[in-house]
Amino acid sequence: MLKRLFDIIFSALGLIILLPFMLLIAVFIGLTSKGGVFYRQERVGKLGKKFKLYKFRTMKSDSDKLGLLTVGGRDQRITSIGYYLRKYKLDEFPQLLNVLFGTMSIVGPRPEVRKYVDLYTDDQKKVLNVKPGITDYASLEYFSENDLLAKSSNPEETYIKEILPAKLALNKKYISEAGLITDIKVILRTLAKIVS
């Protein structure tokens, strides 16, 4: 109950404060590439329920048909402004709407697409017992995940066999330590990471 109250207050304040900046981003996206301002992707949430995750669009329209993983900051599908939105995690701002609507929390395991959730072991599926979030331990550890994948000769295999299991282990670590103080620390670390 306390976590939900925190999510509502934090997301509402965030949206109010960031609204002028988000409008500016929307204008730039609209002026520099064809397609909608927002990108909506189906993800798997708490208890395996699917929901639409919101982001600012950073890729050319229908790019996800060419693969779900983004490989490197200069993936050819990424738009000119999309590169910077991704680099500074500005494309994540619309997820505050997900938090406000109750499908996500500010802090919690990052939600995955069904394709990768279907690969979870029974033990790994425990991360689905909590609401997914915008950031957590795994988000901090794999802040530059795209660059790691760019170095691989087989990015999807690297993601499935190396990165995904490591992220899920960190997700479970967060769940075991979850609490308001932990969440505040994760938020502050995330903001520091973006700034640095």
DSSP 129-179: GS--EEE-HHHHHTTTHHHHHHT-SSHHHHIIIIIHHHHHHHHHHHHHH-S
**What's the start-to-end Cα distance of the chain, in Å?**
33
Per-residue pLDDT at 74? 61
Per-residue pLDDT at 87? 87
Per-residue pLDDT at 65? 63
pTM here is 0.89
* Residue ranges of the chain with per-residue pLDDT less than 70: 62-74
Write out the DSSP string of 25-72: HHHHHHHHSSS-SEEEEEEE-GGG-EEEEEEE--B-TTGGGG-SS--S
Per-residue pLDDT at 126? 96
> 3-class DSSP state for residue 109?
coil
| 36 contacts 57 by C-beta, under 8 angstroms | yes
